[in-house]
């Protein structure tokens, strides 16, 4: 995928006790798609101190 045509946030969970953010998203390109995208952000002193990304890239069926 050269770049997503759409990237749609599905749900965002924020836990202010642990200063974390957990957005779930989907993306669709011309030949591939992501249906299970998840980012994780951990904040410390107002800055991002850790970030992870997890997704499964699959061929688009439609």
Domain boundaries, the chain: 6-59
Q: What is the pLDDT of residues 3-31, one digit of tens each?
A: 555 555 555 555 556 688 888 889 999 99
- Record the pTM: 0.66
Q: Which of the four pLDDT bands, split at 50, 70 and 90, describes residue 57?
A: very high
Q: What is the pLDDT of residues 27-50, one digit of tens each?
A: 999 999 999 999 998 888 888 899
Nearest to 38 by CA among 16, 62, 6, 7: 7
CA distance 34 to 58: 6
């Amino acid at each position: 995928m050269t770049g997503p045509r759409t990237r749609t946030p599905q749900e965002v969970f924020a836990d202010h006790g642990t200063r974390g953010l957990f957005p779930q998203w989907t993306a669709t390109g011309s030949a591939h798609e992501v249906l299970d995208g998840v980012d994780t952000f951990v904040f410390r002193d107002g800055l991002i101190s850790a970030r992870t990304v997890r997704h499964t890239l699959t061929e688009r069926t439609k």
